[in-house]
Structure 1
């Protein structure tokens, strides 16, 4: 594989992207800094196909990333391969308003062909290539220039390894006929709405303090205000105010600005500074959350109770058994809250649809309905259908 020097000019970038646009896929990774900023600062982009690899310096004077961004977002013929690519995709969305498409994430794919829930990149490389990665350069300051040869070598290694691993994973997905299991997960990765922050919806990511419309109205207003302050100052939202502090103020709003000095999580300076004044105005202007915006109640059937909790535990045991039997990550099949809902009588669930129903949901439903039981065979825990057990017993009795 040909490894290029660090690309720092638009002409060299355009030439590279012109060649890569003829490839079936490209492996992509980024290095960025976001510890002290609201928006992640893109510091390096690494890209490779099966023949060549390069690192691109987005901080180089005069470089225009348009050829790269067009390859990512406009070229539908080239598959973009990431590993745990959520933050990489977020950066591209911030730059273009679009997500790369089509996309493939090797971390997600591993869930369909192994029991790995969230396999790290180093473990992925070790598993498929038997190569141990030197992690020494991982936490360096990628914004500092010039980059060292060690940094560039480490960064490019991420995509050269990935370009070799992807075809192997794809081959196994085809062999096991599990590619369609990943469609919904890959669609989520490629959905721009998952990355574009709407300040008016930012309150939904905070644990809601009850279902009081007045409290939730203040929570919505405060969260939107915090988002705007953080964006304007380009600092992490937590530097303005932590989630728990924001939720506490929504539940117990101070009556006067000087009362902010008593709020845990705020400095005493808020009692008479400008940001404290802006906060008090937001509280004063907040309106109750409209009925149509109230969060939906958790989808549940009857309360679980002791027996229902036992059924939920049996479902979790069944999930472990099935995930082990078919070598798939349990998380890809279903979640704990879904199994509790199933035990409580809810039937409108993802686990009871499509391929999930075929490989797990059908048996889970039969277990809830008393048609399935656990049995030990040759020292291993197995699932047995009640009808099969009865038939076996009848045959044994008849033979006697």
Structure 2
């Protein structure tokens, strides 16, 4: 494989992208910094196919990233391969309003191959290539220039290793006929809605004990204010105000701006400055949350009750047995909220009662809750048994 020197000019990048645009797949990774900012600062983009690999410096003066971004989000003929790529996709979405598509995430694929729910990149490389990844540069400040050869080599290795792993993984998926299991998961990961940041929805990430409409209305307004302040100033949300602070402000609103000096977690200067004034405006103009937006008491689904909780526990045990038997990560087969909904009597709209999940697990899960399946111990091992067989 030919590994290019660090690309810092538009012409070289455009030529690379023209060649890569005819590939069956490209592997993609990014290096970024976000500890001190609201928006992740993109510092390096690595990309490879089976023949060549390169690192691109998005911080190089005058470099035009459009050919690379077009390849990632507009070329439907090239599969984009990532590993645990959520943050990489978020960065691309922030730049383009789109996400890479079609997409293949090797961490998700590993779940279908019995390699755990969140296999790390280093363990994946070791499992497929027998290579121990050099972690010496993992704490690099990628925003600093110049980058030395060791840092660039470390970064490019992420995509060169992945370009060798993906065909091996794809072959195993074909051999086990599990490739189709991943289609839904990959489409879900590539859904741009996962990465759209709506200030009006920011309140949902904040825990608050109150269920009063006026308190939740204030929480929505304050969380929106914080999101706008943080994004405008490019500071982490917590630097503006921590979650517990805005929850306290929503539940116990100050009567006047001067009272902000008494609020734990806020600077005393907010009692008289502009940011404090904007916060007070958000609090004072907040309206009670309408009934249509009020969160349910149990958003996981219908109430279980004591017996239902026991049935849910049995379903989780069944899930472990089934996942063990077919060598797949339990999380790919079913999620806890689906099991609890099934135990509570829900049948419509559950992923485990549809498609391949129904064939592999859902049918048995339904039989268990409806009395057609039970547990037995044979030879010291826990097994499933049909009640008619018993």
TM class, shorter-length: over 0.9
Deviation at 1:251, TM superposition (A): 1.4
Aligned length: 388
- Give TM-score scaled by structure 1 length: 0.93
| 2:35 counterpart of 1:43 | no
2:236 matched residue in structure 1: 236
Distance, in Å, in 1 between the alignment partners of 2:85 and 2:301 is 33
After superposition, give the CA deviation of every residue in 1:129-165 in whole Å (9 maximum; x if it has no partner): 1111011101110010110111000000000000000
Deviation at 1:291, TM superposition (A): 2.7
1:185 matched residue in structure 2: 185
2:357 matched residue in structure 1: 356
Against the structure 1 CA distance between its residues 155 and 249, is the aligned structure 2 distance closer, same or farther, given a 3 Å change threshold?
same
Moved more, 137-146 or 296-305: 296-305
| Contact kept in structure 2, 1:371 and 1:386, CA below 8 Å | yes
1:382 matched residue in structure 2: 383
- Give TM-score scaled by structure 2 length: 0.96
Distance, in Å, in 1 between the alignment partners of 2:371 and 2:24 is 49
Moved more, 152-161 or 107-116: 107-116
Distance, in Å, in 1 between the alignment partners of 2:316 and 2:77 is 41
| 2:109 counterpart of 1:78 | no
2:333 matched residue in structure 1: 333
| Contact kept in structure 2, 1:304 and 1:343, CA below 8 Å | no
1:159 matched residue in structure 2: 159
| Contact kept in structure 2, 1:32 and 1:43, CA below 8 Å | yes
1:54 matched residue in structure 2: 54
1:310 matched residue in structure 2: 310
Give the 5 Å matches for 1:357-372: 357-372=358-373
| Contact kept in structure 2, 1:209 and 1:216, CA below 8 Å | no
RMSD: 1.5
Deviation at 1:296, TM superposition (A): 4.5
SS at 1:31 equivalent: strand
Distance, in Å, in 2 between the alignment partners of 1:50 and 1:59 is 26
Distance, in Å, in 1 between the alignment partners of 2:340 and 2:259 is 43
Deviation at 1:208, TM superposition (A): 4.7
Give the 5 Å matches for 1:215-294: 215-294=215-294
Q: Which aligned segments of 4 or more residues in structure 1 are displaced greater than 6 angstroms? A: none
| Contact kept in structure 1, 2:320 and 2:330, CA below 8 Å | yes
SS at 1:254 equivalent: coil
SS at 1:292 equivalent: coil
User: Structure 1: where are the runs of 5+ without partners?
Assistant: 390-400
| Contact kept in structure 2, 1:38 and 1:231, CA below 8 Å | yes
Against the structure 1 CA distance between its residues 136 and 365, is the aligned structure 2 distance closer, same or farther, given a 3 Å change threshold?
same
Against the structure 1 CA distance between its residues 124 and 372, is the aligned structure 2 distance closer, same or farther, given a 3 Å change threshold?
same
Against the structure 1 CA distance between its residues 208 and 361, is the aligned structure 2 distance closer, same or farther, given a 3 Å change threshold?
farther
Deviation at 1:57, TM superposition (A): 0.6
Distance, in Å, in 2 between the alignment partners of 1:353 and 1:180 is 13
| Contact kept in structure 1, 2:304 and 2:343, CA below 8 Å | no
